[in-house]
Amino acid sequence: MKLDTTSYYPPSPLGPEDDDIPRQDAGASDSGNPVETAVEPVEVSETENTPEKSTDKTSDSDSGYESNPESGPRWVNALAQFLSWIMVPFFMPLYGTLLAFHLSLLRYVGAGSKWGVIIVVALLNILVPSLIVLLLKRLGVVQDLGLNGRRERLIPYIITVVCMLSTGWFVYVKGAPLWLVMFFVAGGVAGIIDTIINLRWKISAHAAGAAGVVALLLRIMHTGYAEPGVVGWLLVAVFLTGAVASARLWLGRHTLGQVLAGAGVGFCSVFFLTMI
C-alpha cells in the first residue's frame, strides 16, 4: 500500500490554482526511488556582473565639453600643458610691465625705479594670488591648482581683481603714464566682468589675459614713442594668444565660445580704457 506523503510538504506558494497540478515528492518517484534532478547551468552575461570599463575621457561639467587629451600625441599634450602654465593669467601683469619698460618711452626710466616697480608688480599679481590659491587648496575650497572648475574660481578672481587695482594705484603714485595705470585698472575691470560671467558660464581667463597684452602693445604703438621692435613683439603676442586658446581647447578646459568670449573681454577692456 502506497503511503500518502503530500502532507509532509507545505502548500504551494504559487496559489490555489496551481494545486491542481500533479506534484511529485521531492527527491522520490512513485516507486519510492530517489529521482535525480538535473539542474541546467545558468549562463550569466558578462555585461551583467562586469563593471563598466573606465574610459580615459574627462568631462568638464562646468562647460559641458568632453575631451580626451590623453588619446592625442604625448608631445602635444605636454605642449598644451606648458602653454597653459606659462600663460597663467597671474603672469600677464608682469609680462605687460616688462614689455612697457622695454618697448615704450619708459625704457629711459632708471634701473632702480624700473626694477622696484617690476618686483612690486610680481609680488602683488603672482605671489599673493598664488599663496592664496595654495591656502584655499589646503582648506579644501579649491581642488585643482589650475582652477579648472568654474565654482572654484570665485575667490581667486576676487583676489586677482583687488591685486590688479592695487597695482594700478601703486604705479599711479609712482608717476607712471596714464595708459600704464589704466592697463592695470582694465585688468581689474576684465576680472570683474569675468567673475560675473563665471557665476553662470565658464569664460576663459587665459584668453582674456593674453588678449589684454595684445591690446597693451597696440596702445604702446599708439603713443608714437615705441621701439621699432614692438611690431615683432605684437606678432609674438598674437601668436601666443592663439596658441594658449588652442591649448585650452585641446585640453578640454573650454569651448570655442568661451575662449572667444574671454579674448573679447580682455582685449576690449585694455584697448578702450588705455585710450583714455
Whether residue 41 has pLDDT greater than 50 = yes
DSSP string of the chain? -----GGGSPPPTT-GGGGGS--PPTT--TTS---PPP-PPPP--HHHHSPPPP-S-EEETTTTEEE-GGGS-HHHHHHHHHHHHHT-GGGHHHHHHHHHHHHSGGGGS-HHHHHHHHHHHHIIIIIHHHHHHHHHHHTTS-S-TT--SGGGSHHHHHHHHHHHHHHHHHHHHTT--HHHHHHHHHHHHHHHHHHHHHTTS---HHHHHHHHHHHHHHHHHHTS---TTHHHHHHHHHHHHHHHHHHHHHTTS--HHHHHHHHHHHHHHHHHHHT-
Model confidence pLDDT, tens digit, residues 130-182: 999 889 888 888 777 777 777 788 888 999 999 999 999 999 999 999 999 99
Model confidence pLDDT, tens digit, residues 74-129: 899 999 999 999 999 999 999 999 999 999 999 999 999 999 999 999 999 999 99
User: What's this model's pTM, rounded to 2 decimal places?
Assistant: 0.74
User: What is the model's pLDDT at position 47?
Assistant: 44
